[in-house]
Amino acid sequence: MKKIIWRRIAERDRDRIFDRIAKENPRAAIELDMQFEENAALALQRPNLYKPGRVRDTREIVTRPNYVMVYRADVSGITILRVLHARRKWPLEE
């Protein structure tokens, strides 16, 4: 059975986004978080649905206009690598 794996850094990204939005609008934070879950589930079903990512072998899901979910698909499922604000530079330069 294929599965969704959230890397620890992606979970932290998601938590930070939730906390920031929840301070002003808890309902909006919950709805956005549910959208992240729904997008991940859809990517699991159809891994090539979303556009190729800026990093090799990744794909990117635009969640609403402001957030991008970066993931990698393989035979076991998908791995969510990051959840970033769209204005944030990605990939990060070293």
Q: Is the pTM of this model over 0.85?
A: yes
Residue 31 contacts residue 47 (beta carbons within 8 Å):
no
Helices (H), the chain: 8-24, 26-45
Secondary structure (3-state) at 92: coil
Neighbouring-strand partners of residue 69: 61, 83
pLDDT one-digit tens code per residue, 34-78: 999 999 999 999 999 999 999 999 999 999 889 999 999 999 999
Question: How far does CA 40 lie from the centroid of its chain?
Answer: 7
